[in-house]
Amino acid sequence: MSLTNDDNMSAHSQVSSHFFEDLLDSIIVDVASECHRVARLGLDRNFEEEEEELRLSAQARARVADSSNNGETNSKYVVDIFGQTHPPVANEIFECMNCGRSIVAGRFAPHLEKCMGKGRKARLKVTRSATAAQNRYTRGSPGSSYSSYSNSTGMNRLSNGASSGVAGEEYSNGSFEEL
């Protein structure tokens, strides 16, 4: 039988689509068959783990919603995800590299502050044991802090009316009432 070109084309595309559907169906059956096998033989270990995890996460959520207050008051004995408890202050003891004393880890930072120079006492410690250059620096600093104090108050005074250029000279002379 003779088909026109158009008929041929549409017949072809029909056949092609049909064939494609056929292939797809057989692949679908393959996938279904494999999943069936896995399900029946219990080979999918992940499946049970997933179920377990879902259950645990639901439990955890319930616990959080339920007793969130308790968690805060019990912070001393907080349990992390590995089941370990941590004391609030770290226990380990080691030597401070600056002064050589044995310090508890949890108190190390405050110790270092005092030991290395954040506070006033620490700075005095430094000047006593320092070189000449360092001494000059530290002697300068109380002075500079004093003059900066006068500067600031002077600025306040000046803003009332005088020009800042003139005032600058008067600064260095130190001829200010504040002094």
Partner 1 sequence: MSAKRSSINRPPTPDVDRDRENQEPTLQEIINIKMIESGEKERLKELLRERLIECGWRDEMKSLCRKKGRNNVTVDDLVHVITPKGRASVPDPVKAELLQRIRSFLASTAT
Structure tokens at 19: 């064939």
Q: How far is the CB of 43 from partner 1 (least distance, A)?
A: 11
Structure tokens at 64: 């959080």
d(CA 132, CA 114): 23
Q: How far is the CB of 36 from partner 1 (least distance, A)?
A: 5
Chosen residue from 5, 10, 20, 127 binding partner 1 by CB under 8 A: 20
Structure tokens at 162: 């005088």
Q: How far is the CB of 58 from partner 1 (least distance, A)?
A: 17
State the number of binding residues for partner 1 (CB under 8 A). 30
Q: Which stretch binds partner 1 (CB under 8 A): 40-48, 90-98, 120-128, 156-164?
A: 40-48
Q: Which of 134, 102, 98 shows the shortest CA–CA distance to 115?
A: 98
Write the CB contacts of 154 (distance below 8 Å, at least 6 apart in sequence): 167, 170, 171, 176, 178
Q: Determine, following the binding rule CB under 8 A, whether residue 172 of this chain makes contact with partner 1.
A: no
Chosen residue from 5, 40, 101, 160 binding partner 1 by CB under 8 A: 40
Q: Which of 150, 172, 151, 154 shows the shortest CA–CA distance to 162?
A: 154
Kindly list the residues in this chain that would bind partner 1 in the complex (CB under 8 A): 11-13, 15-36, 39-40, 42, 44, 47
